[in-house]
Amino acid sequence: MNMDAPAEKEKRMCIVCEKEQEDGLEIWGEFICRSCENEMVNTNVEDKKYPFFIRQMRQIWLKKNA
């Protein structure tokens, strides 16, 4: 085993920004990157972006329950 090689992290496509990211979390089998997670946490309900996040989350939920 070559210890000099950096650990190859698996990149996954974020369901919110649709970019390939390494860091993030998995919700219901779908991936949300770290920056989107932070943004969602810090987004106020009155924020214009909030409905977008809800819609993306809903997509995950709908897929899960299809």
β partners of residue 12: 21
Q: How far is the CB of 1 from Zn ion (least distance, A)?
A: 32
Widest Cα–Cα separation across the chain: 51
Is 14 a residue that touches Zn ion (CB under 5 A)?
Answer: yes
Q: How far is the CB of 26 from Zn ion (least distance, A)?
A: 13
Q: How many of the chain's residues bind Zn ion (CB under 5 A)?
A: 5
- The residue from 3, 12, 20, 36 that contacts Zn ion (CB under 5 A) is 36
What is the spatial distance between Cα 62 and Cα 3, in angstroms, rounded to a whole number? 42
Q: Which spans of this chain sit near Zn ion (rule: CB under 5 A)?
A: 14, 16-17, 33, 36
